[in-house]
Amino acid sequence: MKAVIIEKTGGPDALKYTEVSAPEPKRGEVVVRVAAAGVNYIDTYHRSGLYPVRLPYTLGLEGAGMVERVGDEVSNLDHGGRVAWASGPGSYAELVAVPASQLVRIPNKVDMDVAAAAMLQGMTAHYLMTSTFPVRAGHAVLVHAAAGGVGLLLIQMCKRAGAQVIGTASTPEKAQLAREAGADHIVLYTEEDFQQESRRLTDGRGVNVVFDGVGKSTWEKSLNSLAPRGMLVLFGNASGPVPAIEPLTLSQKGSLFLTRPKLNDYIATREELLRRAGEVLGWIESGELNIRIDRRYPLAEAAQAHLDLESRRTTGKLLLFP
């Protein structure tokens, strides 16, 4: 079967589209024929070596497809069933073996490509605003990269909860997409200072939470945008990892909170995975949540997808199709 692997870490040119052995299901696993695989920043971290993996490594964690074969001790999934996942290493491939415990059924009214686009970013937005910082009516929220895949979903979910949402974007076109998702205010960070604007738009108080997936280039002003006892949620490193922070800084700036969460710790049990995925896919099915698929690529063009993602030219989700 065809897959995209890395034999050494590096830039997008390290990605190799090649023939590999098809997986066999181990005990508790299911082999799925991939209909669509999601492209995410964590894939670029694996490729670059920021998050070390054992080489050679087949990239990709997220996707949707149809059950091809089931291993021993799998009783709740049958051949041909439509499933999606966010923790299936090796998803940049025609076939992938995924633990049955990581698979969720796709609702009948949700297309497989939409399900593939929703799992990782959808559950990320869900845990960030329901668990890491429970957003509620009256909160002021700052969302960086508001027109990105997670950003557009965070806007919709935070507005659903009744919050005031301020987003940052680099171009008027991206700003318009974020407004259409429900953002109350958009700061064009290429022209305006988001720290000053966040203060101005909250009558000097600052925001209750900053959802920052950008990292190195934004974290300091993100801290300065917070109201006393506010929380900076660093959930990504699109511009590079954040340097070491002196804890006393948090005290000096108003008894602030700082966290660096990851999805796996928020879907650590089967029950939590089903709850988060069920709510996200349920909102999509009911029309309460819109998934924007920005670009679709053949699997062989995975390197171009990585280039486009890291250039921050994209808005919404990128998908690969085997």
| R_g of the chain computed on alpha carbons | 20
The DSSP line for 152-180 is HHHHHHHHHTT-EEEEEESSHHHHHHHHH
> Which of 260, 276, 309 is the last residue in one of the domains?
260
- Strand, coil or helix: 52: coil
Report pLDDT for 75.
Answer: 86
Residues 255 and 273 in one domain: no
Strands 95-99 and 104-105: unpaired
Segment 274-309, tens digit of pLDDT: 999 999 999 999 999 999 999 999 999 999 999 999
- Strand, coil or helix: 145: coil
Residues 60 and 10 in one domain: yes
How many CB atoms within 10 Å of residue 254?
14
> Which of 260, 278, 301 is the last residue in one of the domains?
260
Asked whether the bond before 56 is cis by omega within 30 degrees of 0, the reply is yes
Average pLDDT of the residues in 97-122: 96
Report pLDDT for 322.
Answer: 95
Report pLDDT for 190.
Answer: 85
Write the CATH number for 159.
3.40.50.720
Residue appearing with tokens 């991206």: 174
Report pLDDT for 294.
Answer: 92
Parent domain of 207: 136-260
- Could you tell me the pTM of the whole model? 0.93
Segment 7-47, tens digit of pLDDT: 999 999 999 999 999 999 999 999 999 999 999 989 999 99
Select the more confidently predicted residue: 79 or 86. 86
Q: Is residue 127 part of a domain?
A: no
Residues 107 and 166 in one domain: no
Write the CATH number for 277.
3.90.180.10
Report pLDDT for 238.
Answer: 83
Q: Is residue 282 part of a domain?
A: yes
> Which of 260, 277, 301 is the last residue in one of the domains?
260
Residues 60 and 87 in one domain: yes
Q: Which of 80, 84, 160 is nearest to 118 (CA)?
A: 84
Q: Is residue 130 part of a domain?
A: no
Total number of domains in the chain? 2
Residues 104 and 157 in one domain: no
